[in-house]
Structure formats: C-alpha cells, structure tokens
Amino acid sequence: MKTLVWVEHDNSAMADATLAAVTAAGKLGEVHLLVAGSGCRAVAEQAAQIAGVGKVHLADNAAYANALAENVAPLIVELMGHHDAFIAPATSHGKNIAPRVAALLDVMQISDILSVEGEKTFTRPTYAGNAIATVESTDAKLVVTVRGTAFDKAETTGGSATIEDVSGAGDAGLSSFVGAEIAKNERPELTSAKVIVSGGRALKDSETFQQVIMPLADKLGAGVGASRAAVDAGYVPNDYQVGQTGKIVAPEVYIAIGISGAIQHLAGMKDSKTIIAINKDEDAPIFQVADIGLVGDLFKIVPELTEKL
Amino acid sequence: MKALVPVKRVIDYNVKPRVKADGTGVDLANVKMSMNPFDEIAVEEAIRLKESGAVTEIIAISVGPAKAQETLRTALAMGADSAILVETDDEVEPLAVAKILKAAAAEVQPGLIILGKQAIDDDSNQTGQMLAALMNLPQGTFASKVVVEGDSVTVTREVDGGLETVKLSLPAIVTTDLRLNEPRYASLPNIMKAKKKPLDVKTPADYGVDITPRIKTLKVAEPPVRQAGIKVADVDELVAKLKNMGVA
C-alpha cells in the first residue's frame, strides 16, 4: 500500500507529531510525505531524512502557507490519484484537513487511531476513551488520523528520500488567513513532554496558578497542562487544556494538582505511564487512576515538594 | 440569512459508558441521553447571531431515532424556529450525515451551518469538514469566536499553539469549540412554546442518501484498566518516589 502522510510544520521546522504518523504509515507499506506550505523547502529537506520515507512531495505556494483546508484538500486529493491511503497526525491541522479530503474522495475517515491491526483494520478510542473500537474500512482508499502518543516516533535521520515538486491548484478563493496568536511557551511542548505538571480549578486564579505550578514545572523541566475548569476560569490559555477536547498526552509522569479527575480530563491523560495526584479530597476520582496519591492541601504540599526536589 | 444547526442525541456527558459484555458496542439501554454539548453551543451561537440581527431564522436538524425529537425540542426551546428530524434507527456515519445535511441545506439555503466540532460518543470530529467539502464551502472549525460582517464571516479558531483567525466567504460552515459561548437554559414557558413549533419528520431516503456504513466495527472493548495505586503519607515519601523514577 502506498501511503501519503501530511507533514505538520510551521514552514521552518517539522513538528514531532509527523514522526508518529510516519511510524503508523510504515505499518501499511510504502511511505510518501507531503510538505505543503510557503517557503518550506527546508522542511522538505528535514522530512527527506526521516528513516523509511520513499519520497517527499513539496508543494511550495503562498496559498498553502497556513494549511487552509480549502486550499490543501484539493492538492491532497490530486496526489491521492496514485496513493492508497492518506494519513495525518491528529493535530488541529490534521483534524481540520483530513475529513475534507475523505469526503472529496467519498470515503469514511478513521479518526485518531491507536494501533494498526491489519491493512484496513485499526483500533480507535470512542466515548472519551472509555471504549476502544476495532474497526475495518471497506472503502477503496483509506483516510486516517493518528494519535501521536500511541506510536513511537520515526527516526529523524537515516533516510534519503527524493524531493519532488508538485503544484496543485493553489488558492480555492473561499477563505483567507487573517492572523494568529500563538501562546509563547518556553517549556516542553505538552504532547511530547516527558513530565507534565497539570493544575485544576483548585488553583484559584491565574496568579496563584503561576506561583504554585510553574516553579514545580521548572524544577522538573516539565510541560504545564490544565483541566478545562482552570482554562475556562482564565487561569491559563486554552492550549494548556488536557482532555477529550484539549490535548491528548501520555508522558512518563503526569502530576495532577487540584484536579478532580472528570471523565473528560481522564480521556486526555490516562495513558500516562505514572500518574501522581495531589488533592485534598480523598474521594476524588483522580485517585482511582493515580499510581501515587497524596491527600492534602496543595498550597502546602506543592511549595514543599518544589523546595525538596 | 438562515442558519442551519445540526444536533445529535448522545449519551449524557456525565455518564460513564459501559461496554457490552459481548463486545458489540456500548450499552445505551436505560442510559440518560442529552444533546451533544458541542451542539448546544452551536444552537446558542445561532441564537446569538439572530439576536444581533445577522441571522433571521434558525432551523435545527437531527439524524437519528424517533427519540431525537426530544433533542430537537430542546433546540426549539432554546430559540430555534423550526426543526427537521431525519429518522432512522441505524447508526449513521459522519459521511452519510454530511450527505443528508447537504441535501437538507439545498432546500433550506442557509447562509451559515453551525455544527459542534465533535460528538462525544464517536469522537470523530469529521461531519462539519465533510459537509464543507461536499458543498464546496469554506470551513471555520474549532471556533471560539464568530463575527458575521456583510458577505463574510470571521472565525477565531482554537489551534494547537493558541488561536488563529480566518475569514470565510458566505455561505460557510462553522464548527464550535467549548469556549465559543455558554449555552442558555430553556425556560419553562419556552419549553411549552417549543411544543408548538414546526417539526418535520423525514427519512434518509427522502433525501436520496444511502446510509450503508463504510466502516465495520469488529469489536468494542474496555480500555486497559490501570493498576490501583498507592497513597503516600507526606511530601518526603513522594520525593523519594520521584527520585526512584529518575524524574527528580
């Protein structure tokens, strides 16, 4: 099977999420990549080094600069003339673009796969991760998005794929990019961090969140996450949210502080290797999934923990 | 302009789903069902756009069993003007739902179609994008802000790194993220009034759509159960554990 993988990037560097998608694609057969963007040849050169990649399609056009689905979906559909499967990481770009591609090809997409069980058989989580479905596509072509935390990352060296320029139709004239506010974050990126310190509603306000959570995260070199309650209350920006509707993470260690452990939050972090919970309510559902629990007042415990580390 | 708002009846978000022992699916018998939370946000946004004068009429639509009428009545009680139920007892995949919505939109001629970004049961996050593709319309997915100006709509989207803003020509498709708005509760008088609002019942065949599934579900299983953990007594013990794991 010949698979085309969407390369997630910001026009200068490739995102890690791509590497998990490449691993998933490798289980199906020959892997080709698509780098669509503007002034993104450097990304294509990076992508060509990934182990196991056969070819990199480079579509360099101002219309593809911001990955607008209206513009890139027809380009992908064109390339699907000689590919059997399209795979995208389940990032916000991937989730935006892939279903548009699937509908144009008249096939059903399989979202957020956890494993490849056969050429057309995959597992995927449903009901906020409370049920794992094994599903088989009956369509002629596959469109799949991949959960980044469920697959190992492909090696970024060792490959020597050829880069082939492709053009596509360019601007579909339906949409335009106005601007972006990308949160500045010097900490490890959440979906690839080894350790995550996450705060919930109990942190009271933005200032307290900063004072309590950040020093601990700094000490551990950890990424910082939050529950929906903390985001909705404005303690931190939305891209910190871990859960069914936020980011799905699976770090080595996830430290949940002042988070009760609602179904929707657990959906985003229960595949973490070790879960540590600090909460004053010993009946909080988070303790049912935590490997290590500490019952007590986070405002005493967390500063003490930070100091002793 | 009219707004078309697709809504789905799903298991209530507070209910912990139970996988059936025979592995065929999740047990929905006698389980509390509600409107998908993202769809409530879609209905609310349409109502706000009507209150601001950008939208003149709101049509709610649902594809599902007869009981999905309750979901549509909820949308009507919140403020939708009329409703369409496309009745079927079969599971309908996002692609088929998108095809039905396209056919319904051809009759309604909406300027905006506002959907939830995903249903909390199948977690697909596909229908809005598929509908946009089939209708060749622009899409503003995962919206946290929607501003209609003349013949375009500006949508602020929740993306991985933060927010981005796109401008779409109308008609357009918008899918809602949780932070778009806080849905209102339907008041008792509005619930009573909603009973008198028009609700059309149709079938997928009325729209000429084949809903045969493309994906076969071979098995549904419980996720692996995590081992019960331990509780530590104090910070020192926790620090020792962290050091053992090589984290600190």
Contact criterion met (CB < 8 Å) for A264 and B161: no
**CA-based nearest residue in chain A for residue B12:** A127
| Amino acid identity for residue B215 in this structure | I
pLDDT of residue A112: 97
Please indicate if any CB of chain B lies within 8 Å of the CB of A292.
Answer: yes
Local confidence band at A136 (pLDDT 50, 70, 90 cut-offs): very high
pLDDT of residue B161: 84
Could you tell me the CA-to-CA distances from B195 to A275, B5, B34, B48, B82 in Å, in that order?
A: 49, 18, 18, 22, 11
Domains detected in chain A: 2-165 (3.40.50.620), 190-308 (3.40.50.1220)
Number of A/B CB contacts below 8 angstroms equals 253
pLDDT at A183 over 90: no
Contacts of B247 in chain A (CB under 8 A): 195, 220, 252-253
Q: What is the nearest CA distance from A191 to chain B, expressed in angstroms? A: 10
pLDDT of residue A184: 75
pLDDT at A180 over 90: yes
Please give the class, per CATH, of domain B2-244.
Answer: alpha beta
Q: What is the mean pLDDT of residues B70-85?
A: 98
Query: What ipTM was reported for this prediction?
Result: 0.96
CA torsion sign for A109, A111, A117, A123 is: negative
pLDDT in tens, A77-125: 999 999 999 999 999 999 999 999 999 999 999 999 999 999 999 999 9
pLDDT in tens, A7-59: 999 999 999 999 999 999 999 999 999 999 999 999 999 999 999 999 999 99
Please indicate if any CB of chain B lies within 8 Å of the CB of A297.
Answer: no
Contact criterion met (CB < 8 Å) for A136 and B215: yes
Contact criterion met (CB < 8 Å) for A174 and B136: yes
**CA-based nearest residue in chain A for residue B27:** A131
> What is the C-alpha to C-alpha distance for residues A117 and A75, in angstroms, rounded to an integer?
29
Q: Is the pTM of this model over 0.90?
A: yes
Contact criterion met (CB < 8 Å) for B222 and A132: yes
Contacts of A220 in chain B (CB under 8 A): 247-248
| Amino acid identity for residue A120 in this structure | K
Q: What percent of chain A lies above the pLDDT cut of 90?
A: 93
Exposed e or buried b for every residue in B117-146, given b needs 16+ CB within 10 A?
bbbbbbbbbbbbbbbbbbbebbbbbbbbbb
Give the annotated binding-site residues of A. Answer: 201, 227-228, 241-245, 258-265, 279
CA torsion sign for B61, B64, B69, B75 is: negative
Mean pLDDT (chain B) is 96
Query: Cβ distance A93 to A5 under 8 Å?
Result: no
Q: What is the nearest CA distance from A203 to chain B, expressed in angstroms? A: 19
Contact criterion met (CB < 8 Å) for B230 and A106: no
> What is the C-alpha to C-alpha distance for residues B147 and B150, in angstroms, rounded to an integer?
10
Contacts of A252 (CB under 8 A, 6+ apart): A194, A195, A272, A273, A274, B245, B247
Contact criterion met (CB < 8 Å) for B158 and A305: no
Most B-contacting residue of A124, A130, A252 (CB-CB within 10 A), to test interface: A130
DSSP string, A91-133: SHHHHHHHHHHHHHHT--EEEEESEE-SSSEEEEEEGGGTEEE
Contacts of A137 in chain B (CB under 8 A): 214-216
Contacts of A228 in chain B (CB under 8 A): 178
Of A66, A108, A177, the CB nearest to B214: A108
Of A99, A131, A138, the CB nearest to B216: A138
Q: In chain A, which ranges are E strands?
A: 2-6, 30-37, 53-60, 85-89, 109-113, 115-116, 121-126, 131-137, 142-146, 162-165, 175-182, 195-199, 223-226, 253-257, 274-279, 292-295
pLDDT of residue B177: 95
> What is the C-alpha to C-alpha distance for residues A209 and A93, in angstroms, rounded to an integer?
29
| Cα-to-chain-centroid distance, residue A35 | 18
Of B142, B158, B226, the CB nearest to A289: B226
Domain ranges, ordered by start, for chain B: 2-244
Which positions 200-229 of A are in contact with B (Cβ < 8 Å)?
A: 219-220, 228
Contact criterion met (CB < 8 Å) for B133 and A133: no
Query: Cβ distance A29 to A3 under 8 Å?
Result: yes
pLDDT of residue B226: 83
pLDDT of residue B33: 97
At A143 the three-state DSSP class reads strand
DSSP letter at A35 equals: E
**CA-based nearest residue in chain B for residue A177:** B166
pLDDT of residue B136: 98
pLDDT of residue B6: 98
Query: Cβ distance A26 to A54 under 8 Å?
Result: no
At A298 the three-state DSSP class reads helix
Query: Cβ distance A144 to A109 under 8 Å?
Result: yes
pLDDT at A185 over 80: no
Give the annotated binding-site residues of A for FAD. Answer: 201, 227-228, 241-245, 258-265, 279
Local confidence band at A152 (pLDDT 50, 70, 90 cut-offs): very high
Q: What percent of chain B lies above the pLDDT cut of 70?
A: 100
pLDDT at B219 over 90: yes
**Helix B127-135 vs helix A92-105: angle between axes, to the nearest 10 degrees?**
50
Contact criterion met (CB < 8 Å) for B220 and A91: no
| Amino acid identity for residue A282 in this structure | E
Contact criterion met (CB < 8 Å) for A291 and B166: no
Q: What percent of chain A lies above the pLDDT cut of 70?
A: 100
**CA-based nearest residue in chain B for residue A298:** B235
Q: What is the nearest CA distance from A105 to chain B, expressed in angstroms? A: 10
Report which secondary-structure segment, H or E, holds B174: strand B172-176
